[in-house]
Amino acid sequence: MGNKQIKQHLETAQKTGILKISLQRLQEFPPQLKAYPNVLKTLDLSENRFERIPDELGRLTLLKHLNLSGNRLIELNEVIGELIKLEVLLLMDNMLTKLPKALANCTHLKTVNLSNNQLKEFPSMFCGLKQLDVLDLSRNKITEVPSEVGNLYVTELNLNQNQISSLAEDVADCPKLKTLRLEENCLQANALTPRILKESKICNLAVDGNLFNSKQFTDLDGYDVYMERYTAVKKKMF
């Protein structure tokens, strides 16, 4: 996509509010975007070679959907917190090691995908975002789930393929959490406490590939209570 094509895309996007410049091997953000009118609602810059996002991105305050997946981002600057209308944030397949606290300002977020990055800490800035429905943190390097998780409002939390050896019991307090994916981590069976199994709303708990077998799981105090929720949901589906 040469400059001419990018120019055409930018002109069309002024009318549609949708701009897609993906798979272009771009290392720099298109300079035209830096002074672009604030009309975009969807911006797709996936599958390029960006290592950082420019401060000018913060001007695009009408954005609802931002796709930066498949780049080389190591960190996000605080400017992302200025995109207060953002609903979908796609950042999978980057090299992110940490996230800015300013993401807590994006109170309209519904879906966040951070799969396949280099995150070592659970991103607590998402706790308290009441519209957030799905948070995908799979394929990172997270080692523990902290107590703040109890303030997470998602219905689905994906933590598959991390290095988690510690799970805060407060996950039982998540008001809407139905699906918790913890496959291929470093958890012992006793991490799934009676409180998590009995008192949470979790009805789909995926735990294969940890440091315990299926019999140890089914023998846990509270497993039968969890299975009642699991079965009730399955019955509704059929």
Last residue of a domain, one of 113, 139, 160: 113
Residue labelled with tokens 């009995």? 198
205 shares its domain with 221: yes
**Distance between CA atoms of 14 and 41, rounded to whole angstroms?**
10
Residue 146 pLDDT exceeds 60? yes
- DSSP secondary structure, 161-196, as one string: SS---EE-GGGGG-SS--EEE--SS---GGGS-HHH
163 shares its domain with 93: no
pLDDT digits (tens, 9 = 90+) for 180-215: 999 999 999 999 999 999 999 999 999 999 999 999
124 shares its domain with 152: yes
19 shares its domain with 49: yes
User: Which pLDDT belongs to residue 129?
Assistant: 97
User: Which pLDDT belongs to residue 171?
Assistant: 98
104 shares its domain with 141: no
**Distance between CA atoms of 21 and 142, rounded to whole angstroms?**
31
Residue 3 pLDDT exceeds 70? no
| Confidence at 54, pLDDT banded by 50, 70, 90 | confident
User: Which pLDDT belongs to residue 8?
Assistant: 78
Distances (CA, A) of 73 to 136, 163, 184: 17, 22, 25
Residue 5 pLDDT exceeds 80? no
pLDDT digits (tens, 9 = 90+) for 95-115: 999 999 999 999 999 999 999
